[in-house]
Amino acid sequence: MSETTTALAGTETAAAGLQQMSMQQALNRALDEILAENPKTVIFGEDCGRLGGVFRITDGLQDKHGQDRVFDTPLAESGILGMSVGLAMAGFHPIPEVQFDGFAYPAINQIVCQIARMNYRSRGTLPMPITLRVPSFGGIRAPEHHGESLEALFAHVPGLKVVSPSTPHDAYHLLKYAATRPDPVIFMEPKSRYWQKGPVDLTSAVPCEPTHDAETSNGGDLTGARVAREGRHLTLVAWGAMVARCLQVAELAAEDGIDVEVLDLRWLKPIDAEALATSVGKTRRAVVVHEAPLTSGLGAEVAQLITQSCFATLKAPVERVTGFDVPYPSGDLEDEYIPNIDRILFGIQRVLEYRRG
């Protein structure tokens, strides 16, 4: 077994069940336990079997659970997702992987016309308990089509649920939760966070209360958003890799006396409208941050939900700090495209300095 799998247990801490592990290790452990707990679970995709995946998320699982439950597929995303539909119809719980987010495009027909609709089309007789793992977003300086931000596309489709963890703890618990759902779940993994370590409580999905510490803030219901950092003056709303960046911004803003709350949305379909209303109802200002282009991005939906519930108390229009309305660039231009600390701070400044005419 490889070093990655051997290190899966992580570093034990004083608290029972609490371990330090990377998001890659947390996802690997979750998949290992899912396979052990549900004999109907099968995991497959390009290089998922013997190699253990490009990012080694499935490392060691084929050796442990067998080639009939963890296996490689041809380089054909439409075939991978089409096979997932047939397996789900036959009573299995497929966990397919699309190797990179940009490779999901060839399978859009299967995702939208079959996976998302089969339960509705069959009047509930053919549920689709499929958890589609999609390494997502940028930040690893990869070639074109290896970094995308497709959450708005998936969230727009009725019948799909969409989730994106930002910490190893959430990655572990949200993946295990998604694998028990009767509905198809698009599980968007922030690939730039795969190697970042953090505490994972293996015994509880809610190990501690939200604090100002990004490394220990893992609170919240698995079905909704979580407050990653409490604050009073403004709410930053983000998901996936942008949560860590917003936490960095919040620490810098605090040096100037600005107390920023960071809300990790986690579920992008359905969106936790109540958590948005609670957080922005308190701070009365909001900035939404995401990597996808601005126009018709998911931030527009979030901004509308905030405006709908907090219109009477908002002190400024909801600001969005996003990628640009251009194709997601290759790695050498990522730093110019992905919202950086300065752009987010300027967004905060615009909201704080807004004055009604």
Catalytic residues: 146
Rounded Cα gap, residues 285 and 280, in angstroms: 6
Rounded Cα gap, residues 188 and 168, in angstroms: 13
Tokens of 75: 């380089």
Q: Residue 111 carries which DSSP code? A: I
What's the one-letter identity of residue 206?
A: V
Which residues, including other chains, have CB under 8 Å from residue 282's CB and lie 6 or more apart?
Answer: 232, 235, 261
Please say whether the beta carbons of 65 and 71 come within 8 A.
Answer: no
Query: Beta 197-201 vs 267-269: how paired, if at all?
Result: unpaired
Positive or negative, the CA dihedral 271, 294, 296, 280 is: positive
Please say whether the beta carbons of 150 and 111 come within 8 A.
Answer: no
Tokens of 152: 């708005």
**Cβ-based neighbour number of residue 137 at 10 Å:** 29
**Cβ-based neighbour number of residue 257 at 10 Å:** 7
Which residues, including other chains, have CB under 8 Å from residue 170's CB and lie 6 or more apart?
Answer: 218, 226, 264, 266
Q: Where are the alpha helices (DSSP H) in the chain?
A: 3-6, 23-37, 61-65, 77-89, 108-109, 118-121, 151-155, 168-178, 242-254, 273-283, 298-310, 334-337, 341-352
